[in-house]
């Protein structure tokens, strides 16, 4: 990245370059993250189906089958794994953009450090708090702290310092142009990722959902008990969860490279402009020569 570039990276180029980098480093990063996520996603889906099968056998004791302690614990483990695995993927993406060799063992070790886990906890806690406030503050908070992982990897900032650094970079917009604002770019990048994840998830899960809906409508039309068929439908979602986890991880790999590119581009322009200001202070431009009398 050239810190003295004439302007920020255009958003369209950011999307294209993120795709190119994700395809280039896909084999080195994707398998070590996607496989454990997919395995745990299948385990969660299987635990839900198994628990509902046991409860559905005795309708008199059915209350809230999805909130069993076992399923809830497994779901929490899955959520923690997602946060750690996606952070490891971001570490690898930052290394790739910085020109360093990709080492997924190093990426996992870095993410499992105490300071990194604490920073991730602060980051996700701020996100959850913003989501509880009618979700509208999250539209600002989520992009604002999106550069926390690159700040940890590249600059060794953790905790509140990492959050402050991300806020500092994402708010850097000296040109005052709306679509060149890093906050706007991050928001659009996240929006693209959410849409891609939703479309891919719908594509991979639809073949497993169609038989479920057909069976539901058939039982409803015949006046049969639809609850008895729920365990079978839930077991159909186990392979669907596997495919959905694989697709979502691929989309997030793309977002990781987009975030890394935006981090280096914004930091390069900010530090480059600051350096130029300091140079102008130390070595002010020469004053124009005096005009000679005619």
Q: Tell me what pLDDT residue 274 has.
A: 46
Could you give the 3-state DSSP secondary structure of residue 224?
Answer: coil
Q: Tell me what pLDDT residue 288 has.
A: 54
Report which of residues 264 and 63 the model is more confident about. 264
- How far is 20 from 271, CA to CA, in rounded Å? 26
pLDDT score of 273 more than 90: no
**What angle separates helix 148-155 from helix 69-97, to the nearest 10 degrees?**
50
Report which of residues 254 and 277 the model is more confident about. 254
- Res. 270 pLDDT band, cuts 50 70 90: confident
Average pLDDT over residues 236-261: 92
Q: Tell me what pLDDT residue 1 has.
A: 44
Virtual torsion, Cα 75, 77, 83, 89, nearest 10 deg: -110
Q: Tell me what pLDDT residue 282 has.
A: 45
pLDDT score of 293 more than 90: no
pLDDT score of 101 more than 90: yes
As a whole number, the mean pLDDT across the chain is 83
Report which of residues 68 and 149 the model is more confident about. 149
Which two structure tokens, joined as six digits, stand for 187?
């928001």
Look up the pTM and report it: 0.82
**Residues written for the chain:** 294
- Res. 161 pLDDT band, cuts 50 70 90: very high
Average pLDDT over residues 114-119: 95
pLDDT score of 6 more than 70: no
Average pLDDT over residues 267-282: 60
Q: Tell me what pLDDT residue 60 has.
A: 47
- Res. 57 pLDDT band, cuts 50 70 90: low
Check: CB of residue 45 under 8 Å from CB of residue 241. yes
Closest CA to 189 of 117, 263, 124: 263
Q: Tell me what pLDDT residue 176 has.
A: 85
Which two structure tokens, joined as six digits, stand for 198?
């939703």
Give the lowest-confidence range in 106-115, 218-227, 247-256, 258-267.
Answer: 218-227
Report which of residues 45 and 182 the model is more confident about. 182
- How far is 2 from 4, CA to CA, in rounded Å? 5
**What is the chain's Cα-based Rg?**
25
Closest CA to 82 of 92, 74, 72: 74
- How far is 71 from 46, CA to CA, in rounded Å? 9
Report which of residues 58 and 272 the model is more confident about. 272
- Transcribe 80-97 into DSSP letters: HHHHHHHHHHHHHHHHHH
Q: Tell me what pLDDT residue 261 has.
A: 95
Average pLDDT over residues 170-187: 90
Which region holds residue 290: left if phi is over 0, alpha if psi is between -120 and 50, else beta?
Answer: beta
Q: Tell me what pLDDT residue 287 has.
A: 53
Average pLDDT over residues 21-46: 92
């Amino acid at each position: 990245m050239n810190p003295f570039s004439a302007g920020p990276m255009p958003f369209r180029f950011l999307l294209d370059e993120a795709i190119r980098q994700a395809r280039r480093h896909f084999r080195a990063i994707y398998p070590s993250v996607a496989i454990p996520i997919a395995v745990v996603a299948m385990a969660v889906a299987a635990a839900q189906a198994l628990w509902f099968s046991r409860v559905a056998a005795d309708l008199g004791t059915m209350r809230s089958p999805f909130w069993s302690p076992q399923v809830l614990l497994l779901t929490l483990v899955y959520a923690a794994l997602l946060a750690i695995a996606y952070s490891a993927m971001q570490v690898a993406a930052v290394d790739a953009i910085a020109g360093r060799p990709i080492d997924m063992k190093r990426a996992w070790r870095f993410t499992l450090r105490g300071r990194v886990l604490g920073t991730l906890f602060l980051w996700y806690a701020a996100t959850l708090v913003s989501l509880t406030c009618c979700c509208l503050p999250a539209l600002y908070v989520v992009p604002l702290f999106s550069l926390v992982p690159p700040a940890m990897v590249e600059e060794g900032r953790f905790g509140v310092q990492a959050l402050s650094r991300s806020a500092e970079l994402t708010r850097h917009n000296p040109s005052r142009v709306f679509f060149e604002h890093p906050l706007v770019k991050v928001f659009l990048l996240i929006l693209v990722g959410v849409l891609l994840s939703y479309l891919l998830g719908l594509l991979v899960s639809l073949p497993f959902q169609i038989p479920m809906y057909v069976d539901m409508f058939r039982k409803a039309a015949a006046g049969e008990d639809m609850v008895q068929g729920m365990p079978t439908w839930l077991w159909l979602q186990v392979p669907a969860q596997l495919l959905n986890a694989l697709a979502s991880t691929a989309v997030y790999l793309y977002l990781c490279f987009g975030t890394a590119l935006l981090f280096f581009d914004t930091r390069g322009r900010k530090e480059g402009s600051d350096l130029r200001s300091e140079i102008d202070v130390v070595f002010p431009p020469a004053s124009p020569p005096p005009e000679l009398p005619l």
